Amino acid sequence: MAGLPLLAPHAAPQPMLHVWRGSALGANAELQLHHPDPAEARRLIRDSLDEVARLERQLSLYQPDSALLRLNRDGALAAPPFDLLRLLAEAARFHALTDGAFDVTVQPLWDLYAGHFARAGADPAGPPAEAVAAALDRVGQHRIHLDADQITLRPGTAITLNGIAQGYVTDRVVERLRANGITQALVDMGEARALGGHPMGDAWQVGLEDPAAPGQIAETIPLRNRAVATSGGYGTRFDAAGRFNHIFDPADGRSSWRYAAISVIAPDATTADALSTAFSLLPPERVAELARQAGVTVHVARTDGTRVILA
C-alpha cells in the first residue's frame, strides 16, 4: 500500500478544468480533466467512476464478494475476470524483476500481524517466531496457478493487491480518457498519473508526502505523461510504538523500515506502484540498478530525514 501523492494546486482555478474528489480502493482519490464542454466533462467523469467501480468488483479486498475476496475465500476462481487475471500476470512479472521482493501472497502476514495486535495485551515484540514461520509457509508466488479458465491458490495462501491495484486502476482510467480524446488530465486513484500537461501550459505538480509529517508536502515534482507512486511503512502501523508496518518482506516475514518512504516516477502507474512497494525492501545499490533497467526515477526518503534521488 502506498502513501498518497498530494496534488499541489496551481495558483488559480481554470474554468475548463473539471475536478472530482472521492475514494477508490479504500484510498482518497481525485480526477482533474480539461475539457471545454462541462456536460461532456461530467459524462467522462461518470464514465471513469463506472470503470473504477467495475474494477473494484474484481480487485478490492474491501468490497463484499469481489472476485479477489472469493478467490481468497475458496482457494480457486473459475472463469476469472480479465483484469484480475491480467493484474496477477503483471504481479508475477514484477516478482521476477525484483528478485521476489514484490509478492502479492503476503496477505497471511498481514492477517497475522493485524490479528496479533488487535488482541488485548498483545506482546509488543510482535507475533512469535513460530507463528511468523507458519505464515511464511503460505507465502510465495509459486503458490498461485494462473490459467485463463481458473486461478488456483495452494491451501492457506491469500492475495493482496494493495501494492499494485491502485496504480492499475489509475492506468485504466487514463486509457479511457485518452480513448475519449482527453489530452490533459491528472488521475489519482491512490497513485497519480498525468496525461499531458496542466492546462496552464506547464507540468502537473504533485507533492510527495513527508513521512515524518503525514499530510504535509516534503517535495513537489513536475509530472507530464508520467506516473508517481509512494510506499512507506508510516502509512499503516499495526502497533502503538510504530515498530511494525504493512511493508512485509516475503523472505523473512518481518516489517521493513529500511527507508521512511520510496517514490517511483515511471511511464505508467502500475509500474510505479509495484516498484515503490518492492524497492522498499531492497538495498540502495539494487534499487539503483533496477531503476536504470526499468527506466524509472526513485525518490528516497531516508529514515534520518534526508532525501536522495536514484535514476
Binding annotation for Mg(2+): 163, 273, 277
Counting Cβ atoms within 10 Å, is residue 202 exposed (0-12), middle (13-18) or buried (19+)? exposed
Give the chain's largest Cα–Cα span: 61
The annotated binding site is made up of 163, 273, 277
Say which residue the cell 521482493 belongs to: 101
Q: Which residues pair with 28 in a beta bridge?
A: 23
C-beta atoms surrounding 204 within 10 Å? 27
- Residue 150 near residue 79 (C-beta atoms within 8 A): yes
Residue 10: CB atoms within 10 A of its CB come to 14
Q: How many CB atoms lie within 10 A of CB 212?
A: 13
Q: What is the C-alpha separation between 83 and 247, in angstroms, rounded?
A: 24
Closest by CA position to 98, among listed 219, 226, 250 = 250
